[in-house]
Amino acid sequence: MTKTGKIPTDFYYFHFSEYGKTAFSANIPGATKYIWLEQGKLTIYLVNEVVNLKSGQMTSFNASTPHRFESKHGELAKGVFLVTYVAIAG
């Protein structure tokens, strides 16, 4: 986990090497995931919502719900995502 200012943050680079999907477990309550798509098209499946991103677009959502990414056609998806966590006063 990397500290960005005072908010604990995890930062990841992702890329698909072939068409397919990845599933993510729910993060801890209060976590937010931010996704920026550098290339391709990406479908994000949330509990009650489907989000479609094209290269150059960004979205965020409550990361404490299970979710998955899918790259299913066109240029393979790649980009970055970060997860921020509620800072605990200490």
User: Per residue in 67-88, pLDDT tens?
Assistant: 999 999 999 999 999 999 986 5
CATH superfamily of 2-84: Jelly Rolls (2.60.120.10)
Q: What distance in Å separates the CA atoms of residue 53 and residue 64, rounded to the nearest whole number? A: 20
CB-neighbour burial class of residue 20 (10 A; exposed 0-12, middle 13-18, buried 19+): exposed
Q: 1 or 42: which carries more pLDDT confidence?
A: 42
* Residues 19-42 pLDDT 10s: 999 988 888 899 999 999 999 999
Q: What distance in Å separates the CA atoms of residue 5 and residue 19, rounded to the nearest whole number? A: 36
pTM: 0.83
Q: What distance in Å separates the CA atoms of residue 3 and residue 84, rounded to the nearest whole number? A: 10
Instruction: Please give the pLDDT value at position 18.
Output: 96
The β-bridge relationship of strands 20-24 and 2-4 is: unpaired
Give the residue extent of every domain in the chain.
2-84
Instruction: Please give the pLDDT value at position 74.
Output: 93
Instruction: Please give the pLDDT value at position 77.
Output: 97
